[in-house]
Amino acid sequence: MSLRIPCPCCGDRSVHEFVHGEIRRVPDHLTDPDERDLDFAFHHDNEEGVVTERWFHAQGCRRWFEIRRDTRTDRIIEAAES
Amino acid sequence: MNEFTERQMKLTWRAPKESYDVVIVGAGGHGLATAYYLATRHGITNVGVFERGYIGGGNSGRNTTIIRANYGIPAAVRFYQRSVDLYRGLEEETDRWLMHQQKGILWMAHSEAAVRAERMRAKLNTEFGAETEFVGPRQVEELCPQLDMSGGGRWPVLGASYHPQGATARHDRVVWALAEGAMERGAHVHQNTPVEGLILDGKRVAGVRTAAGNVAAGVVVSAVGGHVSRLAAMAGLRLPIRTHRLQAFVTNHYRQQFGPIVASSELFFYASQTARGEMLLGAEIDPQPSFSYRSSHDFVQHVCRRALCLLPFMSDLRVLRQWTGVCDMSPDYSPIMGRTGVPGFFITTGWGTWGFKAIPAGGEQIAELIATGETPELIAPFGLDRFARDRTMADRGSAGTH
């Protein structure tokens, strides 16, 4: 079975209905504006573990929502409140 | 036993030394190729390769072993053509049978737009050294009689770009040939020895902390696949990398000979036949960043549905095996090779879905960089600094699948 994403509006749906959205955070220790721009444009945390991310239900209710997912197992830790 | 396992049994495995001139993290294709070319081309043999699992057990053992050079930008075509050339000589050079088989690759066009794209691909590739020609439907049919030229009525084959040097090789024979070649000349490979941290001397990377103790190093090369962001973070680096899963599967034995590698950008799949006769299919990466090796049924479903449009004979076959690897995707779909800005720390990453075919050239070029201290011209455009310099290498020819 494919990965199921819990949409707060439509319930558990196949990942293929969604568009993945990353929440970009430039680390605070970067202070040089050029470095911050570079980081924002290209760099990723690429974290192994639980991440908070956004998903867009493109083939459903067309809403953005946040979930927490473990990238090591693809398990959804915490679904968004509906 | 065959000659492959006999050779492995003769190898001598040593305990890690306290220091090496070069420490390579990751004994996959790229790490081992770097060790191999350091030993054979530059006589640098005080090299330790550290691997958390076993040789070639990561993405080197999870890919679809396609070797080709028909990419989308001049720098990439030149680089991958170097790799295709090295692969062709590798059996003779290492005196090992790598099951290297040149079969040609057909890239289908099902629409006028795709015909233009494939014509352009042929032109650009031939111009920069990777012989490719655009062939019409009749020639496509001759090259691969199993194709349904009507594409199930929906995806008619209007032509294809044909890259005759497209090939496949046996993945574990390739990595072991490189490992043995390096070890015979004095390099050490340490399996089951994860690198847990980097030893920093000021800003400089001066060694690695491993499960078997600290090891000092003249330079450290990251040839890590899948977990490179974590290693780079230890050196204070943030990388333009996101890791995605890529799945593939094989069917049971297909008794007839299936000649070329068949790919389609519009149907998002590619197929080839393994030496055992299985049909090997792959497609695009999974959409969400993930480090999980879990395979999914819907992948098989989607790929089969699309592949059967072109290759209806496969409806008689069964899916035998399915697996997953994790791909380090760069934002411009090109690899990242060379210096990192951190002294003593080199990197070869961003191998996305195109790592296997680049093994010899990637290793050769990184070895040259380490030995001479100068970035070879062939990989100069692929440095990590290209993002800061606004010189990204967006490659349409690799953004597809394999």
Give the confidence band of A67 by pLDDT, cuts at 50, 70, 90: very high
- A-chain residues within 8 Å CB-CB of B243? 46, 71
What is the domain range of residue A56?
A: 4-78
pLDDT at B55 over 80: yes
ipTM of the complex: 0.93
- A-chain residues within 8 Å CB-CB of B349? none
Rounded Cα distance, B15 and B36, in Å: 19
How many domains, chain A?
Answer: 1
Interchain CB contacts (distance < 8 Å): A and B? 68
Rounded Cα distance, B283 and B249, in Å: 10
Rounded Cα distance, B288 and A16, in Å: 10
User: Is the distance from CB of B117 to CB of B275 less than 8 angstroms?
Assistant: no
Q: What are the residues facing B49 on neighbouring strands?
A: B24, B189
Average pLDDT of B86-113? 96
Average pLDDT of B195-205? 96
Whether residue B238 and residue A73 make contact (CB cut-off 8 A), yes or no, is: no
Q: Is B252 exposed, middle or buried (0-12, 13-18, 19+ CB in 10 A)?
A: middle
First CA to last CA distance, chain B? 33
- A-chain residues within 8 Å CB-CB of B287? 15-16, 18-20
Query: Which residues 201-260 in chain B show a CB within 8 A of chain A?
Result: 227, 229-230, 238-243
pLDDT at A82 over 80: no
Out of B238, B286, B292, whose CB is closest to A73?
B292
Whether residue B296 and residue A16 make contact (CB cut-off 8 A), yes or no, is: no
Assign 3-state DSSP to chain A and report helix, strand, coil percentages, each to 5. Answer: 15, 35, 50
Q: Which residue, chain included where needed, has tokens 């990353």?
A: A22
Widest distance between CA atoms in chain A = 46
Give the confidence band of B254 by pLDDT, cuts at 50, 70, 90: very high
Kindly state the tokens that stand for B370: 């380490």
- A-chain residues within 8 Å CB-CB of B242? 22, 44, 46
Kindly report the CATH number assigned to the domain that includes residue A26: 3.30.2270.10
Distance from CA of B139 to the nearest CA of A (A): 36
A16 touches chain B (CB under 8 A): yes
Instruction: Supply the pLDDT for residue A80.
Output: 74
Instruction: Supply the pLDDT for residue B400.
Output: 53
Going by C-alpha positions, the residue among B332, B383, B347, B60 that lies closest to residue B223 is B347
pLDDT in tens, B162-192: 999 999 999 999 999 999 999 999 999 999 9
Instruction: Supply the pLDDT for residue B388.
Output: 95
Q: Which residue, chain included where needed, has tokens 């962001």?
A: B229
Strands (E), B223-329: 242-253, 261-264, 269-273, 278-282, 319-329
Give the residue from A14, A19, A42 with the most B CB atoms within 10 Å of its CB, the best one to mutate: A42
- A-chain residues within 8 Å CB-CB of B225? none
Instruction: Supply the pLDDT for residue A2.
Output: 80
Rounded Cα distance, B98 and B104, in Å: 17
Give the confidence band of B198 by pLDDT, cuts at 50, 70, 90: very high
Rounded Cα distance, B196 and B255, in Å: 47
pLDDT at B279 over 60: yes
Rounded Cα distance, B26 and A81, in Å: 42
User: Is the distance from CB of B271 to CB of B311 less than 8 angstroms?
Assistant: yes
Distance from CA of A35 to the nearest CA of B (A): 8
Distance from CA of A71 to the nearest CA of B (A): 5
Instruction: Supply the pLDDT for residue A1.
Output: 63
DSSP string, B107-142: EEE-SHHHHHHHHHHHHHHHHTT---EEE-HHHHHH
Going by C-alpha positions, the residue among B59, B187, B77 that lies closest to residue B122 is B77
> What does the mean pLDDT of chain A come to?
92
Whether residue A27 and residue B238 make contact (CB cut-off 8 A), yes or no, is: yes
- B-chain residues within 8 Å CB-CB of A18? 287
Out of A39, A41, A44, whose CB is closest to B241?
A44
pLDDT in tens, B369-396: 999 999 999 999 999 999 999 999 998 7
Domains and CATH numbers, chain B: 16-63+171-241+331-399 (3.50.50.60), 105-164+244-326 (3.30.9.10)
Going by C-alpha positions, the residue among B239, B65, B80, B62 that lies closest to residue B167 is B65
- B-chain residues within 8 Å CB-CB of A49? none
A22 touches chain B (CB under 8 A): yes
> What does the mean pLDDT of chain B come to?
95
**pTM to 2 decimal places:** 0.95
Q: What is the residue type of A63? A: R
